[in-house]
Chains A and B, each alone.
Chain A
Amino acid sequence: MAMFSLLFRTATRFLFPLMIVFSIFVLFRGHNAPGGGFIGGLVGAAGFALYIIAKGTEQARAAMRMSRRLYMAIGLSLMLGSGLISLFMGQSFLTTQWFSIQIPVLGKLGTPGIFDTGVYLAVIGVTLIILISLAED
């Protein structure tokens, strides 16, 4: 059900990457300013929704690179994994750990960041499974 409006399709070509980049930006700024994995994931999903409307589900799937189930699975695993790390430190599940690794631009690496990235991926996976299922057939 792709739309054959030239304007819309051309706009999408520029808007889509912008939205994905913006969604990642929202994800990482969430720690200190409005944003976070959930909102970021929704923005990213909206970007893919735009893609679906402009180019159809087949191309949207291709643009996602991997299956939507994998998005959900990786997302949930990241969340679970970030919680499990503290178990090996002798603390209870999901106790925040900070590592002394400095990542340029993003800042210090810690389990909340991993957890939020998991939320981000899972939300994209969930939303697109529903969107694409409805958009197809």
Chain B
Amino acid sequence: MNTLLILILIGFIVAILAVSIHKTFKAAAPYVLALYPLGLTVFFFSQLSAVHDHGLHFSTSWVPSLGINFDFALDGLSLLMALLVSGIGTFVVIYAGGYLHGDSNLGKFYLYLMLFMSAMLGVVLADNIILLFIFWELTSISSFFLIGYKHKYEDSRDSALQALLITGAGGLALLAGLILLAQIAGTTQLSALIDQADIIQSHALYPVMLMLVLAGAFTKSAQFPFHFWLPGAMAAPTPVSAYLHSATMVKAGIYLLARLHPALSGTPLWIGVVTTVGAFTMLMGGYLSWQKFDLKKILAYSTISALGTLTMLLGIGSELAVKTALTFLLGHSLYKGALFMLAGGIDHETGTRDVRILGGLRKSMPITFVATVLAILSMSGIPPLFGFVAKELIYETTLDMYSNAWLTTAVAVLANIGMGAAGWIIIIKVFFGPEGDTPKHAHETPWTLWAGPVTLAALSLIFGIFPNLFGTTLLPDAYHVFFPESTKKIYLALWHGFKPPLYLSIVTVLGAIGLYLVHERLLPLAERIDRISAVGPQMLYKRGIKALPVRAGELSHIIQNGKLRNYLLWTTLSAFIFFGLGIWYSDVPLNIFHAGNFTPRYYEIGLSIMLMIAAIGAAASSSRMVSIAFLGIVGYVIAVFYILFGAPDLAMTQFSIETLSVILLVLAIYKLPRFAGVSTRLEHRRDAIVAGALGALVTLMIMAATAFPLESRLTPFFSENTYLLAKGENVVNVILVDFRGMDTMGEVVVLVIAALGAYALTKLVPQKEAEE
């Protein structure tokens, strides 16, 4: 039994039922829904020892011929992520119930949230490349719905679309990269990739594949230059920011880097690109975070900085770096998830998130105050919080690098100073000083809003004092996913002694306090530097999004200007150009005089002459009725040819089609403008040339095709197997309904869509005009 698949499926079922659960249980709905992530958390904790011994592996076949199966695996790394998803998820669901209390669309919100939760669980548990990708895309889609939740605001809609387009474009690149990876490695199973590392890394397409995979990971995890969707995503309700955009979904890119780390890392390309992008993102996020006034924006940029740190660590990829990355992953999720929920609570009770307006909340919101201070201390890396343990490890890692150790360390210190200053801004501006003139009078949040963040902040403290609660339990198991051979004993320590990392930590804390003291004076300067963003990636995106429909509109006005004959002209012309180029560059012998064994019979010549006269007549006639009649003749003569060459099915179809077309044209004739005089003489000549050219080209193509002896494996296959396999004697029909039934179904669907389109064109447009 595929336990993990069943657990994920239950999540999707809960998501589907979420709206009715909300209607049935009303205010108690979040507690009912939270049972799912709570149950998951309990389950995952119960698997700790199983994971430590051998891990869980399940497989259910889906499309085995393509290597797509419901493969799931639970190892140390996925267990860490799964616990974050389910543990924080439990709090977020309860929090959302309090935060969005009374919102008219709350049921839908639960639906999207549970959908995301199941999809994210799928991402971290999938052991199959394609399966991982499917869940990956599902998280992007649910994120789109959640960011655009307040869809009445244009800002929400734009931000949702922006996030979807960027992560979606990255997703496409990722799909290409993952397929390449599977082709190179010869397996779609993620856990089998590690054995193929040498083959993968020495393959000629490794750089291309790596860049495509990184594009996917970097867009998802908001790395420069794709980072800007994340601050935009703050338009989502705060539970979403806490859950998706700090603790889980943005970590999916990090998770992917980690998951593929054993197979892909270690090359100069990996180290160079991943480390550089990560370090730059870390610095940029740290630099921008203290310049913002909106609490959520401050947290968003510090999240970008943290994601950059994680990326950088996985880029460095040493044993120490991996240990650090795993520790910081947990540390960041704990304090950032808490901070977002606390910011949401403040927003909920005061009506604003602007640090310039807020002030003096420590008396009116004591619980929020204590939790915030704990979380911020962890973020700033101050002992005895868990963030301090992680920060020490980061400095230890960068100092330990083979090359650029000092440069990277300096970047890390600068980024952390920026984040630290942002932390002081939050603590001092929001909780100290005189009470701000907030839209609502501040008081403490209900327990549903503080229960989650207080727990997470307390965990930051507990893990800080007893780091080996994590350091000798889950951390070694996750670490062994990267280095299965390693026998090193893994543990964490709060106190490392008087060593360089500690000195750097002191520098960071002092630097942060210093930056806080002068930050208001630095703002005008920062604003001037910020002009650089006029050529930044976000501006490029905005311009591109604006220009796209305009340019597309211009193009359609040229090619599809509403006159059918114009469409026909372009179609014919491009067919001529593309077929022509194809023939020109192919080495097909254009044996024009290859008449060979073909001696036309007298009635064939007669029919051909008839065909030509009818075609010329159709083009030259000045009456529409006469043209239609001529076209009918053309069609029937072709049908006669089919009979002569032994294709009765085609002939029957052609006869029926011709009959119906003539009827159609006769019916349509009343609605058309007068036939004569739609085109000028010049246009007539142009059309004649284009039509003649295509006609000549098609003739050439037929001659080229007949220059080869007709040899096909299909014809004998079908004539032999039609009766044996499909029990029918009519080859054409058996191909249509049996051998190629899928094609037929597709064609009929196209026909149905065309019919609905014709119906809409003739029926719905006049009605709409009448309404207006």
Contacts and interface: CB of A to CB of B under 8 A. Distances in A.
B755 interface: yes
A30 B752 contact: no
A115 B762 CA distance: 30
B770 to A, nearest CB: 12
B575 interface: no
Given A31-B728, A35-B733, A134-B667, A42 B656 contact: yes
Nearest to A96: B738
B748 A75 contact: yes
A87 to B, nearest CB: 12
Contact of B755 (A83, A115, A116, A130): A130
B626 to A, nearest CB: 20
A75 B745 CA distance: 10
27 contacts: A1-B667, A31-B730, A32-B729, A35-B649, A35-B652, A38-B736, A39-B652, A45-B660, A75-B748, A96-B726, A96-B738, A112-B734, A112-B738, A112-B741, A115-B738, A115-B744, A116-B737, A119-B748, A123-B751, A126-B752, A130-B664, A131-B664, A134-B671, A134-B762, A135-B667, A136-B762, A137-B762
A80 interface: yes
Nearest to A43: B656
A76 to B, nearest CB: 6
A84 B653 CA distance: 28
B663 A49 contact: yes
B183 interface: no
B668 A31 contact: no
Query: Which 10 A/B pairs are nearest by Cβ-Cβ distance?
Result: A42-B656, A34-B648, A32-B729, A126-B755, A36-B733, A133-B762, A134-B667, A129-B755, A30-B733, A31-B728
Contacts of B748: 75-76, 79, 118-119, 122-123
A62 interface: no
Contacts of A30: 730, 733
Given A35-B730, A112-B737, 4 more contacts: A83-B742, A108-B727, A122-B751, A130-B758
A36 B730 contact: yes
Which secondary structure characterizes the binding site on chain B? Answer: helix
Given A38-B736, A72-B752, A130-B755, A32 B728 contact: yes
Contacts of A36: 649, 730, 732-733, 736-737
A38 B744 CA distance: 10
B749 interface: yes
Contacts of B668: 134
Contacts of A130: 664, 754-755, 758-759
Contacts of A98: 727
Interface in B717-772: 726-730, 732-734, 736-738, 741-742, 744-745, 748-749, 751-752, 754-756, 758-759, 762-763, 766
Given A119-B748, A129-B759, A135-B667, A46 B656 contact: yes
B50 interface: no
Interface in A83-126: 83, 93-94, 96, 98, 108, 110, 112, 115-116, 118-119, 122-123, 125-126
B664 A34 contact: no
Contacts of B469: none
Interface string B639-672: 0000000001100110011011001100110010
Contacts of A115: 737-738, 741, 744
Nearest to A42: B656
B222 to A, nearest CB: 40
A33 B728 CA distance: 9
Nearest to A72: B752
